[in-house]
Structure 1
Amino acid sequence: MRGELDFQGVFVPALLVWALVAVALGVPLRWGLAALHVYRWVWHPALFDLALFVLLWFAVTFIASRGP
């Protein structure tokens, strides 16, 4: 995995890109969990959302680091 990505001459940190991908994956997942009323069993929804984001960010970064 490279440390930076080049978008039209602007270097963007790769972790920022992977964080945006994790947010894009997390929003529909949170909507689905809310539709299934999972948040009734969650003690602190904000901490749950943060943990979900961290797990998604780890998964995206892990998958990206294994690529070519």
Structure 2
Amino acid sequence: MTGESDIYGVFVPSLLVLVVVTYILHRLLGWGLAKTSVYKWVWHPALFDLGRYVVLLWVVDRVVRQGVSL
């Protein structure tokens, strides 16, 4: 994977693209977890959200690097 992507002639760091995709997935998953009342079982929601974001970023990076399709 290269260090940057060309989007309409503008070079954007690949990490920025991964972060934006991860943020969207993070928000959707957070909405789903809130709807199913998972947060009532979580001791510290902010730490839970941070950990979930870091794990999702790792998963998105692995999917992009391995070429695995969802």
TM-score of the two chains, using structure 1 as the length reference: 0.90
Counterparts of 1:1-68 in structure 2, within 5 Å, are 1-67=1-67
- Specify every segment of 5 or more residues in structure 2 that has no aligned partner in the other structure, as ranges: none
Q: Distance in 2 between matches of 1:38 and 1:32?
A: 9
Higher relative contact order (CA 8 A, sep 6+): 1
Q: For residue 52 of structure 1, what is the amino acid of its counterpart?
A: R
Q: For residue 49 of structure 2, what is the amino acid of its counterpart?
A: D
**What percentage of residue pairs aligned between the two structures are identical?**
52
Superposed CA RMSD: 0.9
TM-score of the two chains, using structure 2 as the length reference: 0.88
Query: Would you identify which runs of 4 or more consecutive aligned residues in structure 1 move more than 6 Å?
Result: none
Question: Alignment length, in residue pairs?
Answer: 67
